[in-house]
Amino acid sequence: MTPRNEPLAAYSDNPRPHGRVVRERRFYRAYGLTIASEVTLPELEPGAPGAADVVIAVGAIDLPTPSPEAATDFRFEPDRQYLAWHAVGAFLISDGRRIDIEPAPGVDDTLIAFPLLGPVMALLLHRRGLLVLHASAIAVAGTSAIFMGDKGAGKSTTASAMIRAGHQLLTDDVVALNLADPSEPMIVPGFPQIKLAADAAAAISLRQADVRPQVHPAIDKMQHRLNGGFSGETVPATRIYILERGERADITPLPAIAALPAIIKFSYVTRFGRAALPDDFAATHLRQCSWIANHVGVCRLEVPTGLDRIGEAVGLIERDLAAGSRRS
């Protein structure tokens, strides 16, 4: 296998060889972008045909795929990023404007979409200058709540409870912040889908949501496509909540010096390590995280153990956002 640190430029730039099967191109909207995709993505909102901000194409990628033993292969350069999973396929991001995909044998669009709309899209948005967090976000009467936390902390569960309470989903899993106006960081809406484990879905009934078939036996969360309860508008980033389990619902504000490490930890790009931040990207990323830590309220949110008590956390969040709105 080619060494991981061998430059991508050593390989062919042409991922679409003569004679490849031509797929129909469909248009979608997500994260404020027009996306022209050869992969069918029913998770996204349909878009009108036109000039595309991002093109997703299916074809051969002239890079070695990972072996079953290695399972994954990630390579990063300033203009191109390569992510490959043996069981799913390979993805090549170019200039923040194009994603080429070579599916693994027998893999359909449903499974391809899982990493495509997660880590692959997150890296593309990062390359387009957005700060991307591994989190969920909810719009609440002109304000917003971003939920971050370790796996199993209840990010999507808390977000779903907020939707049930009448608030709107902005995005699940990939939260993209536009910092073009430093005085007002904005959450860019993703698409109307949220992933929930079976126990959370049973306890928190989302009305007018279509449950999509399980993507893979190893993926335990089910995808819920919302037919309402979604905000397609950008919303100011008001509050970031770092979720932890506790005996009772409680919110503790964090000083910037404590908030910064958490924002860095839960930013999407850092899960790939220092290699994903070449050249001046690392300095830019640190500045973005530091700005958010200093200008957006960051709190520790204790969520009571037990799905029957999730309403306690929802009420506390609503009061906290309303109090912050009055103060501003």
Tally Cβ neighbours within 10 Å of residue 105: 5
Question: What residues make up the domain containing 99?
Answer: 8-127
Q: What is the pTM of this model?
A: 0.90
**Reported confidence tier of residue 179, pLDDT bands at 50, 70, 90:** very high
User: Is 1 a domain residue?
Assistant: no
**What is d(CA 196, CA 311) in angstroms, rounded to the nearest whole number?**
17
**Domain end: 108, 127, 146, which one?**
127
Q: Which residues contact 59 (CB under 8 A, 6 or more apart)?
A: 15, 16, 17, 20, 100, 101, 102
Q: What is the pLDDT of residue 326?
A: 52
Please check whether residues 13 and 59 belong to one and the same domain: yes
**Domain end: 99, 127, 155, which one?**
127
Please, are residues 206 and 267 in contact by the beta-carbon 8 Å criterion? Answer: no
Interval 218-223 mean pLDDT: 79
The number of folded domains in the chain is 2
**Reported confidence tier of residue 45, pLDDT bands at 50, 70, 90:** very high
Please check whether residues 66 and 97 belong to one and the same domain: yes
Instruction: Check pLDDT > 80 for residue 141.
Output: yes
Q: What is the pLDDT of residue 18?
A: 43
Please, are residues 211 and 106 in contact by the beta-carbon 8 Å criterion? Answer: no
pLDDT in tens, 103-124: 999 999 999 999 999 999 999 9
Instruction: Check pLDDT > 50 for residue 245.
Output: yes
Distances 117 to 95, 113, 149, 174, 256 between C-alpha atoms, Å: 17, 6, 20, 8, 31
Query: Is 324 buried (19+), middle (13-18) or exposed (0-12) by CB count in 10 A?
Result: middle
Q: What is the pLDDT of residue 68?
A: 86
**Reported confidence tier of residue 151, pLDDT bands at 50, 70, 90:** confident
Please check whether residues 200 and 297 belong to one and the same domain: yes
Please check whether residues 77 and 153 belong to one and the same domain: no
Interval 186-204 mean pLDDT: 88
Chain-centre distance for alpha carbon 267:
10
At 111, list the tokens.
């499974």
Instruction: Check pLDDT > 70 for residue 13.
Output: no
User: Is 3 a domain residue?
Assistant: no
